[in-house]
């Protein structure tokens, strides 16, 4: 099966090479860390790990990096003599790791899953153990780790109901992949059952909880922009194509009832800033951009920066979390919850099922069915400030009630690290 996997991997790489080259030439984010992804380990990383066997933590992008941060922080306390390195896949994840995870001794890009590439990188780094966040299941990488006698763990593991069926179709292959993984630390009982049904050894599967609940999301000390006193704000975070147009349509309707209302839109992907700016303008509003803002926010603000979303959740009255009106799977609801804001999201939250259900069940947020329902819920929260404030407090309490995953994960993986 590995032979077939590598044949398909190489064939697709060759077949898609014209498209890939076009993307590399035209989209800067595709060029981020490219040589590292092909197996070059930066000299700075090698200097930091020279003569040691570091703990290697992998987190693909921003959400996973922030979820892994509490674990990296506690690993630093428990193993002060060991180096801890952190890899990512995306540019935004890499940037976030460098800015927000000072406990990591080095941050670098994760290699492509070609056999010769992962073999070279693993030999160069020679980690004591590798901890992979969520469901980054790279077959050649895990097999090479086992060949070199390096233990590995899937941490904060999750298998969404949507992806479960796809994994089951290739159960015979993933059963082989899972033989090379030492430990599976899953977010919930449902995740544990799903990964066992795909082929993971039940004796190596445990439930440790969701690391995202252990993020130390600090309060914001000062408003990031000037908003006139008394104006109410909706912050729509991590939005995707199709959502901004809906939000702007609803905003136009709401402004007729609430003329003091302000909308802040934070697209998930930086390459869409220009596109979203055009949508704002075509809706009849001046597009004020965060990077060019002078004076107070008037109507609609485009957050065209990275790493500031938490601050803009802090200044809002209602938070909408994107990737949920369209079939993306949602994004992290805990940042607005930590800012004590009522959290509104839609039905496509399969990547954050546990968190969204916990917040909704606690009365800290509301799931909307569609565009009209989103308008109704925004309207209701804007009309009832007391209810809105109470919902925000309930959202905040969910975080404290579900903490502890970091300690359980550390306890689970210390057998992989402690004796090395």
**What separation in angstroms does the CA of 365 have from each of 219, 238, 285, 332, 393?**
20, 17, 29, 13, 10
- Give bridge partners of residue 236 from the DSSP assignment: 265, 320
Rounded to 10 deg, the angle between the 139-147 and 2-15 helix axes is 130
Which residue stretches of 199-333 are H helix?
243-257, 273-282, 309-314
Our answer to whether residue 64 is catalytic in this structure is: yes
Q: What is the DSSP string of 18-42?
A: HHHHHHHHH-GGGGTTHHHHTTPPP
d(CA 391, CA 289): 30
Question: Of residues 64, 243, 335, 354, which has the active-site annotation?
Answer: 64
Q: What letters, b where the CB count within 10 A reaches 16 and e where it falls short, cover 240-262?
A: beebbebbbebbeebeeebeebb
Residue 404: closest CA among 187, 252, 194, 244: 187
User: What does the block give as tokens for 100?
Assistant: 């927000």
- Long-range pairs for 175-179 at CB < 8 Å and ≥24 separation? 175/199, 176/1, 176/2, 176/139, 177/137, 177/139, 177/142, 177/143, 179/146
**Which residue shows structure tokens 């606690």?**
362
Q: Residues near 91 by Cβ (< 8 Å), separated by ≥ 6?
A: 29, 32, 33
- Strands (E) across 152-228 are located at 152-157, 183-186, 205-207
Report how far residue 194's alpha carbon sits from residue 202's, in angstroms, rounded to the nearest whole number. 11
Question: Which H or E run contains 346?
Answer: strand 343-346
CA dist., res. 304 & res. 307, Å (int): 10
Q: How many other CB atoms are found less than 10 A from the CB of residue 138?
A: 17
Q: How far apart are CA 76 and CA 338, in angstroms?
A: 24
Q: Could you give the residue numbers annotated as active site?
A: 64
């Amino acid at each position: 099966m590995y032979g077939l996997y590598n044949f398909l991997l190489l064939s697709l790489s060759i077949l898609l090479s014209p498209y890939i080259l076009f993307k590399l030439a035209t989209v800067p984010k595709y060029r981020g860390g490219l040589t590292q992804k092909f197996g070059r380990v930066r000299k700075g990383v090698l200097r930091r790990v020279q003569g040691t066997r570091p703990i290697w933590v992998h987190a693909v992008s921003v959400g996973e990096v922030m979820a892994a941060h509490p674990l990296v922080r506690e690993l630093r306390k428990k193993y002060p003599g060991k180096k801890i390195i952190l890899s990512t896949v995306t540019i935004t994840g890499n940037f976030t790791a460098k800015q927000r995870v000072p406990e990591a001794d080095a941050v670098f890009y994760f290699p492509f899953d070609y056999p010769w590439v992962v073999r070279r990188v693993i030999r160069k780094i020679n980690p004591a153990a590798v901890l992979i966040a969520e469901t980054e299941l790279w077959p050649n990488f895990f097999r090479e780790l086992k060949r070199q006698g390096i233990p590995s763990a899937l941490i904060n593991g999750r298998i969404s109901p949507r992806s479960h069926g796809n994994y089951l179709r290739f159960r015979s292959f993933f059963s082989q992949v899972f033989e090379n993984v030492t430990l599976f630390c899953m977010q919930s009982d449902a995740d544990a059952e799903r990964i066992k049904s795909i082929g993971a050894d039940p004796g190596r599967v445990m439930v440790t909880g969701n690391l995202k609940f252990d993020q130390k999301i600090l309060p914001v000390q000062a408003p990031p922009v000037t908003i006139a006193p008394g104006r109410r704000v909706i912050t729509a975070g991590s939005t995707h194509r199709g959502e901004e147009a809906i939000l702007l349509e609803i905003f136009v309707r709401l402004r007729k009832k609430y003329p003091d209302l302000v909308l802040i839109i934070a697209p998930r992907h930086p390459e869409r800033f220009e596109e979203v700016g055009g949508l704002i303008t075509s809706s009849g509003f001046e597009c004020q951009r965060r990077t060019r803002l002078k004076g107070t926010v008037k109507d609609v603000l485009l957050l065209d920066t990275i790493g500031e979303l938490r601050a803009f959740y802090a200044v809002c009255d209602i938070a909408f979390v994107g990737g949920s009106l369209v079939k993306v799977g949602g994004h992290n609801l805990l940042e607005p919850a930590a800012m004590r804001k009522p959290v509104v999201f839609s039905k496509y939250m399969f990547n954050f099922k546990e968190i969204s259900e916990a917040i909704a069940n606690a009365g800290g947020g509301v799931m909307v069915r569609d565009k009209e329902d989103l308008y109704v819920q925004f309207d209701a929260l804007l009309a009832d400030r007391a209810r809105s404030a109470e919902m925000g407090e309930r959202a905040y309490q969910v975080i404290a009630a579900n903490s502890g995953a970091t300690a359980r994960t550390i306890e689970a993986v210390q057998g992989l690290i402690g004796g090395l």
